[in-house]
Amino acid sequence: MSGAEVVIVGGGVTGLSAGWWLARSGVKVTVVDKGIVGWEASGRNGGGASHYQSPLFEEEHRLWPQMDELLGYPTEHRKERIIIAMSERQWEQYRFVAERHRRLGHPVEVLDVKQVQDAVPLAGDNCFGGVHYRFGGHANPQRTVQAYAWALQDLGGTIVQHNAVTGFETASGKVTAVKTGAASYGCDSVVVAAGPQTAALMAQLGIAVPLANARAEMIITEPAPMMPIGGVDGHKLYGRQTMRGNLAYGGGPHEWIDVDATGPVARPSTPLMRNLASRLAELLPKAAHLNVIRSWAGVIENSPDGRPIIDRLTSPDNVVVASMSGVGFGLSPASGHAIRDLVLDGTCSFSDIGILGLSRFANLEPDWREKRGWMPIS
């Protein structure tokens, strides 16, 4: 059995970035996906890249401005964000967050109403103020996932699409091959970054990965006049203005759902679109006349504490698992780097990511989903 040295299960943004980082290190990589790269949550999200809570944040912040050049393909990355408060309570919360950023050394400015209107031409005088993050940013998820895939191929890596991984072959405490319905891919190491399917696949290796799946929705408008900073959100919405000008925004209640071992069957959007529309019309009143032209939904897997899981197993000891709990897109430049380090060196070179290890769930109660109310509607 010859084959790739590293097989990556899942052609989402995390698996693709990991594959790209490994290929950059001269490793032979094969990424296997059930469908088309980036087709699930990786390609259908808010595009945010400002995850200051994460041990991967500094690397995320360092890498994004370089990604177009490093990949060789456009990602539409744009720097900075402005968060606008539309109520007294939001204003209190956002200033609290700004203060926290100052304490942590992240550059922020608090904006009054006039300053918000100057910086955000689509904003109105109905806001309470804003916070300008002079860090982080956003990018185009769909363009970026394809950029990773292409860049990986340019480095000699292989993308196998429309080929769902069904299981593993193991010997002497290692995974020796990754199996699909059509083929078997021999490997020295495996990365499992299979989104909602991660738990079922890892269970085959005897590893419990506690994950619960939910559906979230977004809306998109026709193009608006370009704002100087596209990363404008707040009012309990997340989103961005695309470089074409469209406003793409999400937020609000999620729905916990069951997902088949083979992945989501459907990703339906719902009339929640109307609640997103009212908030967006309030956030950016000068865009309220613009047409909503699409809505969509995606399926997100969450860990019990909502933080990502990035870990290398002790047995089998050649497996790295990654599940990003809804922040995978923005963190992808850094998560791929961390996964590369775990695969090749056994430890992350640029940050202590122990908090992302599976061992934190060692004493997790069996009914953790019920206790959190993270159960599908029966």
Partner 1 sequence: MELNFAGTDLCAINGTRSAPDARYDVVVVGAGCSGTAAAIAAATAGSSVLLVDENPVSGALMGNDVPLYFGGRMTAATQNSERMLEAIFMSAPALEQAMEAGVEVLLGTSAWGVYRNGPGVSSLPEQVVGLADASRSWLVGFERIVLATGARDLALAFPGWNQPGVMGAAALRMLLTRYDAFAGRRVLVLGSHDLALESALLAHDRGLKVAGLVEVRDAPQGSADLVAQVAAAGIAIHCGQTIALAKGGIEGVEAATLSSGEVILCDTICMAVGLVPSIELVDAMHGPRTLIATRGGYIPAGEETVSAVGSCAGLADTGFDHIAYRMDWVRALSDVSADDTIVCQCEEVTRADLLGVQPPNYLARPAPMCARSLETLLVDGPANPDQIKRLTRAGMGVCQGRRCRDQVAMLLAIAADRPFGTIPLATHRAPVRPIPLKIMADWHESEAMSAAWDVWFGIPTQWVPVEDIGTPHEDEHRAMLYTGMYE
Binding residues for partner 1 restricted to 137-166, rule: CB under 8 A: 142-143, 146, 149-151, 154, 159, 161-162
Q: Are 42 and 31 in contact (CB under 8 A)?
A: no
**Residues 268-297 interacting with partner 1 (rule: CB under 8 A):** 268-275, 277-281, 287-297
Nearer to partner 1, 65 or 173 (CB): 65
Nearer to partner 1, 60 or 176 (CB): 60
Part of the chain binding partner 1 (CB under 8 A), chosen from 17-25, 182-190, 245-253, 332-340: 245-253
Q: How far apart are CA 41 and CA 53, in angstroms?
A: 20
**Residues 315-334 interacting with partner 1 (rule: CB under 8 A):** 325-326
Which residue in 65, 104, 112, 315 binds partner 1 (CB under 8 A)?
A: 104
Question: What b/e readout covers 142-156, taking b as 16+ CB neighbours within 10 angstroms?
Answer: bbbbbbbbbbbbebe
The verdict on 306 binding partner 1 (CB under 8 A) reads: yes
Q: How far apart are CA 339 and CA 320, in angstroms?
A: 7
**Residues 27-56 interacting with partner 1 (rule: CB under 8 A):** 36-37, 43, 52-55
Q: How far is it between the farthest Cα atoms of the chain?
A: 67
Burial class of residue 89 (count of CB atoms within 10 Å of its CB; 0-12, 13-18, 19+): exposed
The verdict on 244 binding partner 1 (CB under 8 A) reads: yes
CA-to-CA separations, 230 to 81, 108, 266, in angstroms, rounded: 7, 17, 30
Part of the chain binding partner 1 (CB under 8 A), chosen from 17-25, 122-130, 193-201, 303-311: 303-311
Which residue in 166, 179, 188, 256 binds partner 1 (CB under 8 A)?
A: 256
Q: How far is the CB of 176 from partner 1 (least distance, A)?
A: 26
Partners of residue 217 on adjacent β-strands: 297
Q: How far apart are CA 178 and CA 1, in angstroms?
A: 12
Q: How far apart are CA 195 and CA 18, in angstroms?
A: 14
**Residue 48 DSSP symbol:** B
Which residue in 124, 210, 264, 316 binds partner 1 (CB under 8 A)?
A: 264
Report the phi/psi class of residue 109: left, alpha or beta, with left for phi > 0 and alpha for psi in -120 to 50. beta
The dihedrals phi and psi of 34, each to the nearest 5 degrees, come to -70, -25
Nearer to partner 1, 25 or 275 (CB): 275
Which residue in 5, 28, 73, 170 binds partner 1 (CB under 8 A)?
A: 73
Number of residues binding to partner 1, judged by CB under 8 A: 93
The verdict on 79 binding partner 1 (CB under 8 A) reads: no
**Residues 210-229 interacting with partner 1 (rule: CB under 8 A):** 214-215, 221-223
Nearer to partner 1, 181 or 253 (CB): 253
Amino acid at 40: E
Part of the chain binding partner 1 (CB under 8 A), chosen from 18-26, 59-67, 173-181, 299-307: 299-307
Q: How far is the CB of 259 from partner 1 (least distance, A)?
A: 9
